[in-house]
Amino acid sequence: MALTGVEIFKLLPKTNCKKCGFPTCLAFAMKLAQRQASLDLCPDVSEEARQKLGEASAPPVRPITLGTGENAVKMGEETVLFRHDKRFVNPCVFALGIKDTLSSEEIEKKINEVRNSVIDRVGQKLKIDAIALLNDSGGPEKFENAAKILSEKAPEIPVILCTTNLSAAEVSTKLYSDRKPVLYGANAGNLEDMSGIAKNYKATLGIAASTGGLNELSELTEKVKKLGVEDIVIDPGARKAKEILEHNTLIRRAAIKKNFKPLGYPIITFAQREDNLLETLFAALGVAKYSSIIVLSSIERWKNLALFTLRQNIYTDPQVPMQVEQKIYKIGEPTEESPLLITTNFSLTYFIVSGEVENSKVASYLAVMDCEGLSVLTAWAAGKFTASKIAQFIKESGIEGSIKHRELIIPGYVAILSGSIEDKLEGWKVTVGPREANGIPAFMKSRMK
């Protein structure tokens, strides 16, 4: 169980020396209990207390990194069960499953699919994060060969090596030594050997329960930990949606509400299905319900876009909408004759509108006003996108120095504001644009005539 503030206080030096930046040891202890401060801030804490507190203050789901360098992805560290309580921390990893029975050309083709999966959405680069190499051949040769191809041709892509064959595990993990792969395939039968391999090459060990479910899984992780492997991902063994939901929920609850360490690890989910749309939905379940790695059998672009977007939605901060900086953005190379449009600083709004202005191929200024990340209508309804605020923003922005004309194009949904903006912005003319951003290219073209 996590310690309370008072329990933590008892372990601190109680000198109230303030070196931690808090007025008293008790105040510091309270912050520690809420996980809002780090123990390192107190220079005088005893080694014994440090150990006790370290255990207790470790995040309920162990943080684990997959891969190294630029493409490394973090997993775990989650602290809540529901996204409205607090932001989900580390977005799940999508991995493309590649069978070792494929030819080298086919494997290279798949590598390229992963590389080309990057999609820009609302200012974020989203992609398939990893490759899961699957030991469909059953034997070591093909697996080792495929691992070699991956390691040579795609050294930057993080991997999950899925095999229960010890020789295949040894050879492939060695190839990825110090590159933080996951070696998945430890089970009751091969636990010691697999732990040895993971430990030797500093890999994260993927442990699968067979029929014993979560009880078996807990025993396995404890054994592995005793063998000296700390970085673990877990697979409760279920493959049907109903059981996945049950297991993932119980694992996350045990970790967070009971601080049950043996299950405080990221979960790996195998979502492969013959029916591709069903596979997509299955992956969606994993995104919403606590999976940290989701293995897919194919990564078509339509499927990626839907899953990336869901992951982005579920993992956004419920308190702070995604927003962009307030300023006058230049689109193309605007001159002093170029049109000036205005919108709010909600990321989604900004990216849709700037994209459509770009599509119109008319160089423009886009004034983006801080409305605390609210969309146009929401900001208007909340009194943040009002005539006087718009007028003030335009005046203070300095745009009057960059353009000769005095015309402001406003979103069609707030047409009602046009008169009052003209009243407050002397010498300006307000033009009402289309309601939906996709009408902007036609609107801009018609103005050119």
Partner 1 sequence: MAFIPPKETYPGRVYSVSIGTGQKEITVGGENVLPFHSFEGAFSNRPLIAYEIHDVPPSDWPESVQKPYLDVCANPVSWAKYCQDILNAKAIALRLIGTHPDRENRSSEDAAKTVKEVIDSIDIPLIILGSNHTEKDSSVLIAAAEASKDRNCIIGKAQEANYKTIAAAAIANNHKLIAMSELDINLSKQLNILITQMGFDKEKIIIDPMCSALGYGLEYTYSVMERIRLAGLAQNDPTMQQPILGDVGMYVWKVKETIADEKDVPLWGNTEERGIAWEAVTAVSMLIAGAEILVMRHPKAIEAVEKMIDELM
Measure the CA–CA gap between 195 and 224, rounded to whole angstroms. Answer: 6
Please tell me the distance from the alpha carbon of residue 66 to that of residue 129, in angstroms, as a whole number. 9
Which of partner 1, ligand SF4, ligand B12, none does residue 428 bind (CB under 5 to 8 Å by kind)? Answer: none
Q: Tell me which stretch binds ligand B12 (CB under 6 A): 39-47, 156-164, 327-335, 375-383.
A: 375-383
Q: Does 394 bind ligand SF4 (CB under 6 A)?
A: no
Do residues 196 and 226 touch, judged by C-beta distance below 8 A?
A: no
Q: Long-range contacts: 386-394, Cβ < 8 Å, 24+?
A: 386/417, 387/417, 387/420, 387/421, 387/423, 387/424, 388/420, 388/424, 390/342, 390/417, 390/421, 390/424, 390/425, 391/421, 391/424, 391/425, 393/326, 393/367, 393/369, 394/342, 394/367, 394/425, 394/428
Does the protein bind partner 1 through residue 304 (CB under 8 A)? yes
**# chain residues binding ligand B12, by CB under 6 A:** 27
Residues 338-367 that bind partner 1 (CB under 8 A): 348, 352
Name which of 119 and 363 has its Cβ closer to partner 1: 119
Q: What is the DSSP letter of 67?
A: S
433 belongs to the binding site for ligand B12 (CB under 6 A): yes
Report the half-sphere exposure of 308 (CA within 13 A, side-chain side).
20
Per CB under 6 A, does 295 bind ligand B12?
no
Nearer to partner 1 by C-beta: 22 or 265? Answer: 265
- Please choose, out of 32-40, 102-110, 247-255, 290-298, the segment that lies near partner 1 by the rule CB under 8 A: 247-255
Going 390 to 392 to 396 to 398, the CA torsion angle's sign is: positive
By the rule CB under 8 A, 202 interacts with partner 1: no
Contact between 18 and partner 1 (CB under 8 A)?
A: no
Residue 232: name the closest of 262, 196, 273 by CA. 262
What are 268's two structure tokens? Answer: 């790996």
377 interacts with ligand B12 by CB under 6 A: yes
Cα 25 from chain centroid (whole Å): 35
Q: Any residues with CB less than 8 A from the CB of 234 and at least 6 apart, and which?
A: 206, 207, 208, 209, 217, 221, 251, 263, 265, 266, 267, 268
Instruction: Give the interface segment with ligand B12, choosing from 8-16, 152-160, 301-309, 403-411 (CB under 6 A).
Output: 403-411
Which residue, 125 or 404, is less far from partner 1 as judged by CB? 125
Per partner kind, with CB cut-offs from 5 to 8 A, the member of ligand B12, ligand SF4, partner 1, none near residue 380 is: ligand B12
The two three-digit tokens of residue 251, written as one number: 């694992």
Binding interface with partner 1 (CB under 8 A): 82-84, 119, 121, 214-215, 217-218, 222, 240-242, 245-246, 249-250, 253-254, 257-258, 260-263, 275, 277-278, 280-282, 284-285, 288-289, 300-307, 309-310, 312-314, 316, 318, 348, 352, 438
Binding interface with ligand B12 (CB under 6 A): 321, 341, 343, 346, 348-349, 352-353, 373-378, 380-382, 409-413, 433-434, 436-437, 440
